[in-house]
Amino acid sequence: MRAQASHRRLLGLLRKEWLQVLRDPSSIAIAFVLPVGLLLLFGYGVSLDARNLRIGLVIEQPSAEASDLVSGFRQSVYFEPRFFDSRQAARSALAQHAIDGFIVLPADFARRLQAADEVPAQAIVNGVDANSARLLSAYVQGVWSTWLQRELATRSSGPSEPVAAETRIWFNPELRSRNYLVPGLLVVNMTLVGALLTALVMAREWERGTLEALLVTPVTLREILLGKLLPYFALGMGGMALSVLMALTLFQVPLRGSFWVLVACSMLFLLAALGMGLLISIVTRNQFVAGMIALVTTFLPAFLLSGFLFDINSMPVVVQAITHLIAARYFVAILQTLFLAGDVWSLILPNAAALAIMAILFLGLSRRLLRKRLE
Amino acid sequence: MTGPVLTAVDLRKGFGAGDRAMIALDGVSLQVGAGAVTGLIGPDGSGKTTFMRLAVGLLLPDAGRISCLGLDLSSQSGAVQGAVGYMPQRFGLYEDLSVRENLDLYADLQGLPLQERPERYAALLSMTGLGVVTGRLAGRLSGGMKQKLGLACTLLRPPRLLLLDEPTVGVDPLSRRELWRIVQGLVERERMSVLLSTAYLDEAERCADVILLHQGRVIGQGPPSSFSAPLRGRVFLVTGPTGQRRPLQARLSRQPGVRDALLQGDAVRVVTDSAEAPDCTPLGPSVSCAPAQPCFEDGFIDRLKPRTEQPADLQPLDRRRSAAPGATAAAIEVDHLSKRFGSFTAVDAVSFSVRAGEVFGLLGANGAGKTTTFRMLCGLLPPTSGRLSVAGVDLRRAPAAARARIGYMSQRFSLYAGLSVTQNLRFFGRAYGLGGRRLRQRIHWALGAFALADLADAESGTLSLGYRQRLAMASALLHAPDILFLDEPTSGVDPLARREFWGRINALAEGGITVLVTTHFMQEAEYCDRLAIMAAGALLAEGSPTQIREQVRAAPGAATGPVETLEDAFIALIQARPQTGTGDARPG
């Protein structure tokens, strides 16, 4: 009898929440439009690969060797070479950001190469954007050394083969940064979506005075929390599914782990994110403040401190310790493993456990802090 | 059950700490009897809502005890919440759910068995008259309909005790009357006990028992007649020559032995210190005096007004020119003024004119379109169509020129809480282009005329509501405007402060300033020279209070009952209005 009444109350709350979701499109927008929009924006916008780098080439005196090297740059997908007559012209183009760097093959390039006395070419890179500069110089080095080796091999004049270090890249052989950025982005988006969904709805009930009326009915706090959690959990999982689908189809990210592990971990993560939103909502009781706090405490840390963009191991120890408080960190590790490596249990299990602990923590705190009173 | 349904013993409750600490209830002891309507009456900030929330366990007392239906609230609030019905101030409705869906939700939450629902729903819907709108979203109901739906939701499982927190605030008088009819029916038929809080003193007379709260203390408890009984023989209606009621009131209120003098229709209602009629002989030959029935408010004022204090000597403020009686110059002219927000018509072809030097009232419930009309008059909102001129200037052509001649006091007083009284005055003076000696003069005048000199350096945020209201009015008058706009200036202010405020308005009018004021207090409408009654964006009537009453009496078949008060007239006007079938409230 008692259980039945509780069941009916919960159903009533769920139906009410669902009707509100349908009538007020903002929740649907948060659950579906927001992650899709962010994924499209960042998925295409954020890339750590340098492609079509604009490189200037100054060839002071044409020669067979020089044009051979130039064709090496032309064939590379990374470069978009442009030619300049003099160093001055290239330098001013660099200053105007028309090119990212330039290479000078001096007039005595062919002669000095024959004599093999020293590196006869000069590369100048715009160092304003340090990351691009590093990439550019690495790529230039790559093209240069490939060409040099080939040149030496055809000549076979050197007494000894230079020792070449061979690099092998696992898990992401094409070195597409998108393959590990998109799973990370998914986490960032879902952190925001999860927290916003619940942060706004609970605060809305405070603001509109409806919670005051609810609290005076026989409804229990567990029912109120479940009534909020379940509908938005369903919405959040929907948004998550849509994001995964986009990652697999639109961005062609491989999924090497098992689908069901992905589902299970997503559920844990979403519970943690929704729990955080609930907690914010219960504490602030104000939609505007709750929204701002949700944004600042989820989106920014998930972006910067989750290991999605910046390696956690290279952060200072104190900051590393703080990253343990960010649920996104664990989910980034799980998703990057699942998408790029597979079911690596030694990585997935501890991170999933951490997510479960965070979910329990946030939901438990919400339950403790929500009272059947107004203060 | 004959014992009390609610008992409070030395109940104390405060909020905040340190400088911001505020005592809401200061040792309240009372009992609410069974099977009757008990009114918890007091102005805003007197502690009504805090008491209601303590009574349903939404708040815990700092000290003292409170028990409801024999259950102690500190330990058994769950059981209490299962047995009482509580309607909070904003009715607790989900605006994006329909009437039916709101009922379903609360039926689920209160555990009303499915098989009992059809019958209960039918009974509640017919009682509240909401049967025709069950599919409409609650957010699109008028204020009165929301109030009735909120009530229906608390009554799904008939509670033994019904607690209603200010159910009648801001709704139109017809809805108010209907709510009272419903509540009284519940008490008679179902022997329900009701505790109802209100800031409208005239509602006290409808209660079986009244608890009067003031500043967190119980001032008195008893049947309403016990408040007015001591005043029997001390209340009089003084009638003078037409058009002279305002000076008559001013002179009467300064007469020794007069406790209270209020405008009522064409007469002045006078409460004296002892059973002796006011001395009419010095007032003129055509002034007559007749005894009248005391009412609850007379009792309230008699209990609260300090005996020693002489009424403030309110000289005409800022006399610029004497308002010639019967002056015809129109200060404000409004012709077929309309304002639409999207598909919603907030103000619908309203026309009226205000003569220079008169006090003109806009009366209506929340959502009637008063504030929207006001904002158009002040040039804050562009009208969708129609013409309006203020102080002879067409607002569409020269809003800046018109604005320099008007003063505006908004509902929320628009003061900077962190600035002192003088700093606020200086800021508003400069904003109106005053400076140098003129500004210093005007600030000096404002501090004196509004008795703010002692508080000149006090931070505005720390002032009481009544003082903030004075400061806001002083700020609006610094640039010596011809026309003063007051948007619900007295809502939430206690009756004593309200009297003082109207004293100032009268003094302004005597000084020739035109005053336009909005209100939802019927009684305040009586203080106006002329008024316009608005409902759902339309103008229902325009004229002096007496004219409006007569119009309604004369209209064939319009009035179903006697038209004695403005409220009766208002109700008759609403009933006579052709039903457009929408009845939608203004959003927000």
In this predicted model, what pLDDT tens digit does every residue of B321-341 receive, in sequence order? Answer: 444 444 456 889 999 999 998
Give the separation between CA B391 and CA B389, rounded to whole angstroms. Answer: 7
Predicted local confidence at residue B156, as pLDDT: 93
- Cα B538 from Cα B16, distance rounded (Å): 44
pLDDT for res B159: 92
Q: Are A94 and A57 in contact (CB under 8 A)?
A: no
Write down how long chain A is: 375
Give the one of B82, B92, B108 whose C-beta lies nearest to A210's C-beta. Answer: B92
DSSP-assigned letter for residue B585: P
Say whether A218 and B111 touch across the interface (CB within 8 A).
Answer: yes
Range in A1-10, A308-317, B100-109, B579-588 the model is least confident about: B579-588
Task: Please enumerate in sequence order all residues whose Cβ is within 8 A of that of A334, keeping only pairs 6 or more positions apart, or say none.
Answer: A265, A269, A347, A348, A351, A352, A355
Cα Rg, chain B, nearest whole Å: 25
| Euclidean distance between CA atoms A167 and B267, whole angstroms | 103
d(CA B221, nearest CA chain A) in Å: 27
The pairing of strands B84-87 and B161-165 is parallel
- Whether the pLDDT of residue B254 is over 60: the answer is yes
Q: In terms of CA atoms, which chain B residue is nearest residue A223?
A: B109
Q: Quick check: B366 and B520 in contact, CB under 8 A?
A: yes
Comparing alpha-carbon positions, the chain B residue that sits nearest to A7 is B108
Could you read off the pLDDT of B42-71 as tens digits, one per residue?
887 889 999 999 999 999 999 999 999 999
- Residues of chain B contacting residue A5, judged by C-beta atoms under 8 Å apart: 111
So what's the pLDDT on residue A279?
A: 93
Token look-up 């022997």 returns: B191
Mean pLDDT of B110-130: 92
Q: What is the mean pLDDT of residues A14-33?
A: 91
**Min distance A26 CA to chain B CA atoms (Å):** 13
Which positions in chain B touch A212 (Cβ < 8 Å)?
A: 58, 88, 90, 92
Name every residue in B having a CB less than 8 A away from some CB of A.
53, 56-60, 77-78, 81-82, 84, 86-97, 101, 104-111, 137, 150, 153
Helix (H, G, I), strand (E, B) or coil at B254: helix
Q: Return the percentage of chain B with pLDDT > 90, whole number.
A: 39
H or E element, residue A51: none
CA A31 to CA A273: how far, in whole Å? 13
Min Cα distance B40 → chain A (Å) is 20
DSSP code string of A150-219: HHHHHHT-SSSPPP-------S-TT--HHHHHHHHHHHHHHHHHHHHHHHHHHHHHHHHTHHHHHHTSS-
Class of domain B330-405+482-588: alpha beta
Residues of A in contact with B87 (CB under 8 A): 213
Within 13 Å, how many C-alpha atoms sit on residue A324's CB side?
8
Residue A300 pLDDT more than 90? no
More confident residue, A75 or B382: B382
Residue among A20, A24, A216 whose CB faces B86 most closely = A216
Q: Is B76 helix (H, G, I), strand (E, B) or coil?
A: helix
Give B242's pLDDT tier (boundaries 50, 70, 90): confident
CA neighbor of B386 nearest in space, from B572, B494, A211, B394? B394
Residue of A nearest to B82 (CA): A218
Query: How close, in Å, is residue B92 to chain A by CA atoms?
Result: 4
Name the minimum distance, in Å, from the CA of B58 to any CA of chain A: 4
Closest-CA residue to A239 (of A269, A276, A261): A269
Average pLDDT over residues A323-342: 90
**How confident is the model over B247-276, as a mean pLDDT?**
85
Q: How far is CA B509 from CA A73, B314, B322, B481, B522, in A?
A: 89, 12, 10, 12, 20
Whether A213 sits inside 8 A of B57 (CB atoms) is no
What are B390's strand-pairing partners? B332, B393
| Interchain contact, B96 vs A210, CB within 8 Å | no
CB B354 within 8 A of CB B516: yes
| B480-527 residue pLDDT tens | 898 999 988 887 777 888 888 888 888 888 888 999 999 888 888 888
Burial B3-16 (b: 16+ CB within 10 A, else e): ebbbbbeebebbee
- The answer to whether B105 contacts A375, with C-beta atoms less than 8 Å apart, is no
pLDDT over 50 at A223, yes or no: yes
Q: What are the chain A neighbours of B81 within 8 Å (beta carbons)? A: 215-218, 372
Q: Which of A17-31, A56-70, A210-224 has the lowest mean pLDDT?
A: A56-70
pLDDT at B324: 44
Identify the helix (H) or strand (E) that includes residue B341. Answer: strand B330-341
CB contact (8 A) between residue A16 and residue B84: no
Radius of gyration of chain A (CA): 28
One DSSP character per residue, B117-171 reads HHHHHHHHHHHHT-GGGTTSBGGGS-HHHHHHHHHHHHTSS--SEEEEESTTTTS
Closest Cα of chain A to B52: distance in Å?
A: 11
**pLDDT in the model for residue B581:** 42
Structure tokens, B207: 């209660």
What does the pLDDT read at residue B286? 84
Is residue B103 a contact partner of residue B152, using CB atoms and an 8 Å limit?
A: yes
Take residue A117 and report the two structure tokens written for it.
């006395």
Domain ranges of chain B: 6-225, 233-293, 330-405+482-588, 416-480
A271/chain B closest Cα distance in angstroms: 25
The CATH classification number of B233-293 equals 3.30.70
Say if the Cβ atoms of A11 and B91 lie within 8 Å.
no
Which tens digit of pLDDT belongs to each residue from B434-493? 888 999 999 999 998 888 888 889 888 888 777 888 899 999 999 889 899 998 888 777
DSSP sequence for B6-62: EEEEEEEEEES-GGG-EEEEEEEEEEE-TTSEEEEE--TTSSHHHHHHHHTTSS--S
For an interface test with B, the pick among A2, A204, A206, A216 (most B C-beta atoms closer than 10 Å) comes out as: A216
Which residue in A228, A246, A280, A274 sits closest to A43, CA to CA? A246
The type of residue at A244 is V
**Mean pLDDT of the region A87-103:** 85
Per-residue confidence at A269, pLDDT binned at 50, 70, 90? very high
> Across the interface, do A372 and B56 touch by the CB < 8 Å criterion?
no
To the nearest whole angstrom, how far is the Cα of B181 from the nearest Cα of chain A? 23
Residue closest to B224 by CA, chosen among B42, B51, B39: B39
Interface with A, mutate which of B109, B115, B164 (most A CBs under 10 A): B109
pLDDT at residue number B578: 67
Distance between alpha carbon A340 and the CA centroid of its chain, in Å?
14
Residue B399 confidence (pLDDT)? 73
Q: Measuring CA to CA, which residue among B369, B367, B403 is closest to residue B386?
A: B369
Chain A CB contacts of B88 below 8 Å: 209, 212-213, 216
Q: How confident is the model at residue A164, as a pLDDT?
A: 46
Verify whether the Cβ–Cβ distance B86 to A213 is below 8 Å. yes
Mind listing the pLDDT tens digit for each residue in A201-221?
888 898 888 999 999 888 999
Q: How far from B102 is each of A19, A332, B162, B531, CA to CA, in Å? A: 11, 42, 19, 38
Q: Do domains B6-225 and B330-405+482-588 have the same CATH topology?
A: yes
> Of A18-22, A307-311, B209-213, B313-317, where does mean pLDDT reach its minimum?
B313-317
The segment with the largest mean pLDDT, out of A305-314, B409-418, B469-478, is B469-478
Percent of chain B residues topping a pLDDT of 70: 92
* Per-residue confidence band for A119, with pLDDT thresholds at 50, 70 and 90: low
Would you mind telling me the total number of residues written for chain B in this entry? 588
Within 8 A by CB and 6+ apart from B84, the residues are A216, B55, B56, B68, B69, B159, B160, B161, B162, B163
Question: How far B128 CA sits from the closest chain A CA (Å)?
Answer: 19
Residue B119: pLDDT band (50, 70, 90) is very high
Q: Are B239 and B267 in contact (CB under 8 A)?
A: yes
Note whether A19 contacts B96, CB cutoff 8 Å: yes
**Contacts for B212 with CB less than 8 Å, ≥ 6 apart:** B41, B42, B218, B219, B220, B221, B227, B300, B303
In contact, B212 and B219? CB cutoff 8 Å = yes
- Nearest alpha-carbon partner for A272 in A209, A197, A201: A197
B538-564 average pLDDT score:
80
Name the average pLDDT for chain A.
84
CA angle B321, B325, B327 (to 5 degrees): 80
User: A143-152, A357-366, B74-83, B368-377 — which is least confidently predicted?
Assistant: A143-152
Q: Residue A224's closest chain B neighbor by CA? A: B109
Q: Helix, strand, or coil here: B5?
A: coil
CA distance B364 to chain A (A): 24
**Per-residue pLDDT averaged across A250-271, rounded?**
92
Q: Are the Cβ atoms of B81 and A24 closer than 8 angstroms? A: no
Amino acid at B48: K
- Tens of pLDDT, residue by residue over B356-391, are 889 999 998 878 888 899 888 888 888 999 988 888
- Least confident range from A132-136, A326-330, B300-304: namely A132-136
What pLDDT is stored for residue B318 in this prediction? 55
Closest-CA distance of chain B to residue A270, Å: 27
Nearest CA in chain B to A19: B97
**Could you give the 3-state DSSP secondary structure of residue B344?**
strand
**Cβ contacts (< 8 Å) between A215 and chain B: which residues?**
58, 81
B59–A373 CB contact, under 8 Å: yes
- Of the candidates A12, A208, A375, the beta carbon closest to that of B109 is on A12
A218, B88: Cβ pair inside 8 Å? no
Q: B96 to chain A nearest CA, in Å?
A: 6
Query: Across the A/B interface, how many CB contacts are shorter than 8 Å?
Result: 91
In terms of DSSP bridges, do strands B209-214 and B217-222 run parallel, antiparallel, or are they unpaired?
antiparallel
Contact, B15 vs B73, CB < 8 A? no
Cβ-Cβ contacts under 8 Å, B82 against chain A: 218
Q: Please determine, for residue A156, whether its predicted confidence score (pLDDT) is greater than 80.
A: no
The pLDDT of residue B328 is 52
Above 70 in pLDDT, residue A258? yes
Q: Specify the CATH number of the domain B6-225.
A: 3.40.50.300
Q: Using an 8 Å CB-CB cutoff, list chain B residues near A216.
A: 56-58, 81, 84, 86, 88
Of B430 and A174, the one with more pLDDT: B430
Q: Which of A12, A212, A375 sits opposite B108 (nearest CB)?
A: A12
Contact A212 B58 (CB under 8 A): yes
Whether ipTM > 0.85 holds is no
The residue among A372, A188, A370 whose CA lies nearest residue A279 is: A370
Given a cut of 60, whether residue B580 has pLDDT beyond it is no
Q: For A14-28, B272-286, B287-301, which range has the lowest pLDDT when averaged over its residues?
A: B272-286
Q: Which residue has the higher pLDDT, A267 or B20?
A: A267
> For chain A, give me the number of helices (H) and strands (E)?
16, 4
Which residue of B105, B161, B162 to mutate against A (max A Cβ within 10 Å)?
B105
Mutation to test the A interface, candidates B58, B69, B87, most A Cβ within 10 Å: B58
Give the per-residue pLDDT at B521: 83
Mean per-residue pLDDT of chain B: 86
For the cut 90, the answer to whether the pLDDT of residue A349 exceeds it is: yes
Overall average pLDDT of the B539-546 stretch: 90
Q: With contacts defined as CB-CB under 8 Å, which chain B residues touch A214? A: 92, 109
Banded pLDDT at A48 (limits 50, 70, 90): low
pLDDT on residue B586: 41
